[in-house]
Amino acid sequence: MTHLVCGYPNQRDSQEIFKILQNYSQFVEVQFPFSDPIADWLIITEANKMALNYINSTDDVFNFIVKNRIQNNSEILAMCYFHTILTYGLRAFIEKSKNSWIYWIIVPDVPFDTEDWRSLLKICKNVGIHCIYTVSPSTPIERLTSISTIATGFIYAISQNMTTGVQGNFWESFRKYISFLREKFSIPIGVGFGIQSEKDIKQINSIADFSIVGSQVIRLYQDWWLPKISQFLKEL
């Protein structure tokens, strides 16, 4: 799975990146840009800020996705902060997502045991969209258990207690953590945060189901430029 901040670095290049990502990955996670992304590290935050120069409304993002989607190629997953959904209206947002071929949604800043999440989940179930849950190594067991009873689609396992885009290390404890998740969950496990190289991905794919590459795509773009992204993804 790969990650894209919609509208970064500008309208045209963002479309290009989006197409490349769709060609090479099973899932593409499209982030709705937001001025205060609290769960992301600097690199994505900066990308969000740049993207906001080109994205003026939530509808822009939907239009972007509809316009640039390559049919039957990869699944599109929306990642947005709760504020974006709230301003758009819960039901309106979910229905619009469905109409824009988004069948998966991640909301990083709403814990699953809140009223807001319940109402969101209810709408998602009605409409037929998967809500993706994130778990981290520090998530208590009770919470994992209750997540496992409601989670559908796949589970987003955060590789370490970090924000996105910090160099990660995938050692023994990490293996234990993933195999523990395996016991708990029957659905596939995707691992994200801090994955930067081919080696990382090989390691992770040997124990988890797939890996999630986010900041590295942006980093590659910064070091110039598009062909490099496709080359990087091709190697994977």
Stretch that binds another protein, among 56-64, 92-100, 171-179, 212-220 (CB under 8 A): 56-64
Stretch 164-203: interaction string toward another protein, x if CB under 8 A: --x-------------------------------------
Residue 119: CA count within 13 A, CB half-sphere: 10
Look up residue 119 and give its two tokens. 């109402």
3-state helix vs strand vs coil in the chain, percent to 5? 50, 15, 35
Q: Which of 25, 163, 211, 216 binds another protein (CB under 8 A)?
A: 163
CB 148 within 8 A of CB 126: no
146 lies in the site for another protein, by CB under 8 A: no
C-alpha–C-alpha distance, residues 31 and 29, integer Å: 6
CA distance 9 to 225: 11
Q: Is 2 in the site for another protein (CB under 8 A)?
A: no
Asked whether the beta carbons of 130 and 105 are under 8 A apart, the reply is yes
Q: Rounded to an integer, what distance in angstroms lies between the CA atom of residue 168 and that of residue 196?
A: 8
Q: Is there binding between residue 136 and another protein (CB under 8 A)?
A: yes
Q: Does 126 bind another protein (CB under 8 A)?
A: no
Q: Is 128 one of the binding residues for another protein (CB under 8 A)?
A: no
CB of 112 to another protein, least distance (A): 8
Residues 91 to 120 in contact with another protein, rule: CB under 8 A: 108-111, 114, 116
Question: What is the amino acid identity at position 51?
Answer: A
Rule CB under 8 A: which residues touch another protein?
34-36, 38-39, 41-42, 45-46, 49, 52, 55-58, 82-84, 86-88, 108-111, 114, 116, 133-136, 138-140, 143, 158, 161-163, 166
